Chains A and B, each alone.
Chain A
Amino acid sequence: MLSALLAGLAIGALYAATALAYNVMFSTSKVLSVTTGHLSMLGGVFGAWLMADKGLPIPLAVVLSGVIGAAFGWATELIAIRRVLARSDEHLWLLSTLALATMVQQAVGLWWGTEPKPFPRLIAQDFSAGMADQKYWLPVIVALLLALGLELFYRRTLYGKLFVAMSEDTFAARARGIPTDLLRSLSYALAGAMGALAGFAAGQLTFAYFALGLTLTLNGFVALAVGGLGSNLGALVGGLALGVLSAIATYTLGGEYQQTISVGLLMLVLLAKPEGLFGSAKTRPV
């Protein structure tokens, strides 16, 4: 049971990191991009490719994976978000980001192959380490660092404060001379780097697998909705809770109930507390 909880925490940390990436992009665009899970997929696949196939040292592979994730994030904003938001208030971004996510997954499948591939060991450690194995604690540490770093970024840096200003009121921010288009692009690049780093950290757990993206997109969204849209603490708690609950459900009921639990949890929270555990309820001005 303890190992089930540990594995649940580890995969929950990846959901949490995905939820954090959702938050960063949502803060500047009010868009929940379907490509969010694919950022981690790219981190895992490119991390494995850079280290195993190209023989690059781990630190360089980490940096390059982050850069690739950031580039994909930036491209997402440019291709699937900017023009859609400029032309319509409807939720057409759902279709444009879904299309881009599908294209990226297909492209990676064609290039990388459709079978999972190994992700190299990052720290010298025997495989008999059991519950102390790095594949369990690396994703948790990285998710915690990402959440902490994001909070510091929002509170201590000018760009972070500009992100917050945009999340409060984009039109007011633009009226104050804030370059909102540029900030939105930056937020997508930041989310891309975060997602890719999380995927890199969890690579040993998930393998480098092209079809990981949509699973993370779904579970990251559930984590976000449970924790509360816009709350980084909520994303962290929601992700870890989802991972642990899924693990317990699988342990006690069997694997066929794993997806039911995540979607069931989402419905439960949406019915009982629509704003999520740490989200702020919206008041409608009368």
Chain B
Amino acid sequence: MRLLSRRRIVAFLTAAVCVTGSGWTNAADGTIRLGWLSSLTGPLSSAAVAENQGVQFAVEEINKAGGIGGRQIELITYDTQGDPTKAVNFAQRLAFVDKVHFVIGPVNSGESLATVPIVSKAGIPNLVIGTIDELVDAKKYARAFRAINTNRQWIEAANDYVLKILRKSKIAIIGDTSGYGTSSAKTATQMLESAGVKPVYSVLIDPNKTDLTDEMNKAKAAGAEVLMPWSAATGLLARLLNTRGDMGWNVPIVGHSALMAPAIRKLLNKPEYWANAVAAGYVSTTYGVDGKLPANTKALMERIRPKLGGAEIDFMFWWVALGYDTVKIVEHAVKTAGGTDAAAIQKALENTKALKGSYASYSWSVEDRNGFPDHDIVMNQANSFKDGAYRAAK
């Protein structure tokens, strides 16, 4: 008798939910399955480990607050180890075995090139966090939405800084021989040329090359007034700074955000070798003239700090903010779409305008899948790292 009563109560409650929560058409579906492809180990793990902190924290926060429309998020994480082959296998697993509602990642562009078509073909919304331009295309991959800036946005910001702020036009472009370094250097050269500036020297260097004296001597002999390195290899960038310092050549270095990675500090022969170096960064992790971070960043930083050990943050905080925001974008999309129907999610994201996050404010449209606005990029002083953020370059 008692059991029967309980059943009646459950049936009543279920009916009530169906009637009152008619907007949540999938409320009875259970959890929202969120696939997360992250290179947590392997040669490119630094950013992914930090992003993972943000992703996990956002999931935890949302679930503690009751989930999205009453549905808890189930996070399914796979470590791709930075290997495109593994990333493809895990993307297929997420799509066809785990049957996730969303895929975030992978972290690296090389992996994303391989997985975006697979996730797209499966019709699953994919939040892309790789920077190379080819990763998103509204026609080819209708449900792939980029949350990070594009590589061109970084390059454009750096070029603008050199041409308009430093007012230098004798530029040496330095790329590394990886796919990313090669294509970035090529894009940077093309963008400079379209602005009417032909680099005085261009070179591609093996990221593990142990000595850069000759490349630097050649750049100097060519009359370079600015060096623009487009490489994510911290070892190479540190050698560049060391060689410049050892040569006593105080030429400005302006380029990739890895130029200000905290890992570089330890690789420098002398700390002062990091001066006069400027890198593309973000408004969200740049101290204002009042010495404070934007409110959203600061709020997230203080909430997550205990999870990161409670002390000063010793890595680039924007990775955490980006990871956090990807889950918040999922929350926004599900709320707007009223569920996890993929077509409705696509429509919800296409109509998203200036969604305020901790890392950036995002806007997508029917034609444009790049959600990161140009105005959220800023140039930072490479040696100004403090508690996860930077000062703006002068």
Interface residues of A (CB under 8 A from B): 1, 3-4, 6-7, 10-11, 106, 109-110, 113-118, 127-128, 130, 135-136, 205-207, 209, 211-212, 215, 250-251, 254-256, 258-259
Please indicate the chain B residues that have their CB under 8 angstroms from the CB of A259 in the complex: 206
Q: Does B266 contact A (CB under 8 A)?
A: yes
Pair A127/B270 contact, Cβ less than 8 Å: yes
Residues of A within 8 A of B246 (CB): 127-128, 130
Q: Are B211 and A3 in contact (CB under 8 A)?
A: yes
- Smallest Cβ distance from A6 to chain B, in angstroms? 8
Does B197 lie at the interface of the complex (its beta carbon under 8 Å from any beta carbon of A)? no
Chain B min CB distance to A128 (Å): 6
Residues in B238-274 with C-beta less than 8 Å from chain A: 238, 242, 245-246, 248, 261, 263, 266-267, 269-270
Q: What are the 10 A-B residue pairs with the smallest beta carbon separation, nearest first? A: A7-B211, A116-B235, A3-B213, A255-B205, A127-B269, A115-B263, A205-B210, A4-B214, A255-B204, A255-B206
List 12 extra interface pairs beyond A115-B235, A115-B261, CB under 8 A: A3-B213, A4-B211, A7-B213, A109-B42, A116-B234, A118-B267, A205-B211, A206-B208, A209-B235, A256-B182, A256-B204, A258-B177
* Given A10-B210, A212-B208, A250-B209, A128 contacting B248 (CB threshold 8 A): yes
Whether B234 contacts A3 by the Cβ 8 Å rule is no
Tell me the bound Cα distance from A78 to B237 in angstroms. 40
Interface set, chain B 125-163, CB cutoff 8 A to A: none
B203 within 8 A of A: yes
Q: Which applies to chain A's interface (DSSP): helix, strand, loop or mixed?
A: helix
A sample of 25 inter-chain contacts (CB < 8 A) reads A1-B214, A3-B213, A3-B217, A4-B211, A4-B213, A7-B211, A7-B213, A7-B214, A109-B41, A114-B41, A114-B46, A116-B263, A117-B263, A127-B242, A128-B248, A206-B208, A207-B238, A215-B208, A254-B203, A254-B204, A255-B176, A255-B206, A256-B177, A256-B204, A259-B206
User: CA A127 – CA B242 in complex, angstroms?
Assistant: 9
Cβ-defined partner of B267 (8 Å) among A4, A10, A117, A136: A117
Q: Does B44 contact A (CB under 8 A)?
A: yes
Measured between beta carbons, the chain B residues less than 8 angstroms from A258 are 177, 206, 209
Closest Cβ of chain B: how far from A122's Cβ, in Å? Answer: 14
Whole-angstrom distance between the Cβ of B295 and the nearest chain A Cβ: 31
B residues neighboring A (CB under 8 Å)? 41-46, 176-177, 182, 203-206, 208-211, 213-214, 217, 234-235, 238, 242, 245-246, 248, 261, 263, 266-267, 269-270
Is the pair B42, A114 in contact by a Cβ cutoff of 8 Å? yes
- B45: which A residues are within 8 A, CB to CB? 109, 114
Contact between chains at A118 and B248 (CB < 8 Å): no
Query: Whole-angstrom distance between the alpha carbons of A259 and B207 in the complex?
Result: 12
Q: Is the Cβ of B210 less than 8 Å from the Cβ of A115?
A: no
B267 near A7 with CB under 8 A, answer: no
Q: Which of B41, B211, B213, B246 has the most CB atoms of chain A within a 10 A radius of its CB?
A: B211
A-B contact count (CB 8 A): 88
With a cutoff of 8 Å between Cβ atoms, the chain A residues found around residue B267 in the complex are 116-118, 207
* Chain B residues whose CB sits within 8 angstroms of the CB of A113 once the complex forms: 46
**Inter-chain contacts of A3 with B (CB < 8 A):** 211, 213-214, 217
Q: Quick check: A115 and B270 within 8 Å, CB to CB? A: no
With A117-B267, A255-B205, A258-B177: A106-B41 Cβ-Cβ less than 8 Å: yes
Chain B residues with CB under 8 Å of A110's CB are: 41
Distance (whole angstroms) from the CB of A18 to the closest CB of chain B: 15
The smallest beta-carbon distance between B234 and chain A, in angstroms, is 5
The CA-CA distance from A162 to B277 in the complex, in Å, is: 58
Contact across chains for A255 and B209 when beta carbons are under 8 A apart: yes
Of the candidates A115, A128, A130, A212, the one whose C-beta lies within 8 Å of that of B234 is A115
List chain B residues, Cβ under 8 A from A206: 208, 210
Set of chain B residues within 8 Å of A114, measured between Cβ atoms:
41-46
A8 CB to closest chain B CB (Å) equals: 9
A250 near B43: Cβ-Cβ < 8 Å: no
- Which residues of the partner chain A approach B214 to less than 8 Å between Cβ atoms? 1, 3-4, 7, 250-251
CA distance A116 to B43 in the complex (A): 10
Tell me the complex Cα distance, A6–B213, Å.
10
For A6, list chain B residues within 8 Å (CB): 211
- Supposing A212-B208, A251-B214 touch, asked if A117 and B41 sit within 8 A by C-beta, the answer is no
Among A116, A135, A251, A259, the most chain B Cβ lie within 10 Å of the Cβ of A116
- Known contacts: A114-B44, A209-B235, A258-B206. The answer to whether A127 contacts B217 by CB under 8 A is no
For B261, what are the chain A residues with a Cβ–Cβ distance below 8 Å? 115
A219 to chain B, nearest CB (A): 11
User: Do residues A118 and B210 form an inter-chain contact, with CB atoms below 8 A?
Assistant: no
A205 to B213, CA, bound (A): 13
Q: Please measure, in the bound complex, the distance between the C-alpha atom of A254 and the C-alpha atom of B238, giving whole angstroms.
A: 20
Q: CA A1 – CA B221 in complex, angstroms? A: 13
Distance in angstroms from A14 CB to nearest chain B CB is 9
Which residues from chain A contact B203 at a C-beta distance below 8 Å? 254-255
CB pair B245–A127 under 8 Å, yes or no, is: yes
Q: Chain A: which residue is nearest B43 at the CB level? A: A114
- CA of A46 to CA of B177, assembled, Å: 28
| Nearest CB in chain A to that of B40: its residue | A110
Query: Which residue of B is nearest A133, CB measured?
Result: B246
A120 shortest CB reach to chain B, Å: 11
- Min CB gap A243→B, angstroms: 10
